[in-house]
Amino acid sequence: MAALLEEAPRFFGYYNMLFLGQAFAFTALLSLVGCGGGFVFGFGLAVLRSERIVRFAPLRWVATVYVELFRRIPFLVKLMVIFFAFQLAGFDVSGFVVAATTVALSASAFSAENVRAGLEAVHKNQWDAAEAMNMGGLTALRRVILPQAWRIIIPPSMTYSVGLVKSTSIVSQIGVFELTYAAKILNQKGFSAGICFGTILLLYFALCYPLNLMAARLESKLAPSRH
C-alpha cells in the first residue's frame, strides 16, 4: 500500500493523464460508433424478420440465421475472425476499423433481438387495423407500431450497449489503442499493475455507471401503462 502511495504522484502526472484521457476518448468513440452502427443494422434485421413486412420467407430465415449465429459467438472469437478476414481479403484498414466492425456486428445481433421483442409486444390487432386502413407493411411500422414499440425497445438496447462498452476492453488484444491497451503500456513502462489496472477500472466505472443509471431511469419512465 505504501509503495502504491509513493508511486501515485509520478503516475498521475500530466502526460500520463493526457494519455489515459485519450484512451478514454477512444473507448467512448469506439463504443459510440459500434453501438450506433450496430443498432441501425440490427433494426434493419428485425424488420427483415417481421412476417408482416417481409412476405418472402427465405429472406426472413437468412436474417434469423445471422442473428442466431452472431449472438452465439464470443466477442474475442468474432474479433479474431474479422481481424483475419480483413487482413486476408487484402483490405488495409486500421485496427480501430476492425474493432468498430466487431462491436457493430455484435451490437446488430443483440439489437435485432431487442427490436423484435419490442415489435412483438405490440398487439397483433394493431397490424390488422393498419392493414384494414390500407397501409403497407412499412407504413404500418412507421405510423402505428413504432410509436408504441419504441418505449419497449430503448431501455434494453441501452443496457446491452453498456455491456458492449465493457466488451471493447477485449479489442486491446489486436493492439487497438483504448483504455485497456493504455493500461498495459503504462504497466510495461514500469508502473505497478495495481495502479494501472485499478485506475482504468475506475475510468470504466465512470463511463458505464451513469449510462446504466440512465437506462434504469428510462426503463421506469417509459414503462407502458398497464391497462
Partner 1 sequence: MAYTLQFGQVTPYLGYLAGGAWLALQLAAIGFVVGWAIGLVCAAILHYGPWLPRKIVRAYVVFFLNTPLLVQIFFIYFALPDWGIVLSSFQAVVIGMSLNAGAYLTEIQRAGFNSIRREEIEAAETLGFSRLQSIRHVIVPHICKVLFPPLSNQYIILTMTTSIAAIFGVEELTGRTYNINAQTFRALEIFSIAALYYVALTLVASAALYSIGRYFFRIKGKVF
d(CA 136, CA 107): 29
> Is position 192 an interface residue for partner 1 (rule: CB under 8 A)?
yes
Is residue 200 at the binding interface for partner 1, with CB under 8 A as the rule?
A: yes
- Which is nearer to partner 1, 88 or 132 (by Cβ)? 88
- Of the two residues 102 and 144, which places its CB atom closer to partner 1 in the complex? 102
Which of 84, 106, 109, 115 minimizes the C-alpha distance to 31? 106
The site that binds partner 1 (CB under 8 A) totals a number of residues, namely 42
Q: Does 75 bind partner 1 (CB under 8 A)?
A: yes
Q: Min. distance of Cβ 136 from partner 1 in angstroms?
A: 27
Q: What is the crossing angle of helices 193-222 and 146-167, to 10°?
A: 170
φ, ψ for residue 174 (rounded to 5)? -105, 15
Choose, by CB under 8 A, the member of 17, 18, 133, 193 that binds partner 1. Answer: 193
Among 14, 90, 124, 188, binds partner 1 (CB under 8 A): 90
Grid cell, residue 122, equals: 405490440
- Which among 196, 151, 42 is positioned nearest to 104, based on CA atoms? 42
Residue 3 as a binder of partner 1 (CB under 8 A): the answer is yes
Residue 201 is classified by DSSP as H
Measured in Å, how far apart are the chain's first and last C-alpha atoms?
A: 58
When asked if residue 226 is in the footprint of partner 1 (CB under 8 A), the reply is no
Alpha-carbon distance of 99 to 184, in angstroms, equals 18
- Alpha-carbon distance of 177 to 100, in angstroms, equals 12
Which amino acid, 37?
A: G
- Smallest distance from the beta carbon of 84 to partner 1, in angstroms? 4
Confirm or reject binding of residue 161 to partner 1 (CB under 8 A).
no
Cell output for 101? 466492425
Residue 129 in the binding site for partner 1 (CB under 8 A): no
- Which region, judged by CB under 8 A, interacts with partner 1, from 28-36, 51-59, 125-133, 188-196? 188-196
Which CB, 43 or 181, lies closer to partner 1? Answer: 181
Grid cell at residue 192: 505497478
Which parts of this chain interact with partner 1 (CB under 8 A)?
3, 64, 68-69, 72-78, 80-81, 84-85, 88-90, 162, 166-170, 172-173, 179-180, 183, 187, 192-194, 197-198, 200-201, 204-205, 208-209, 212
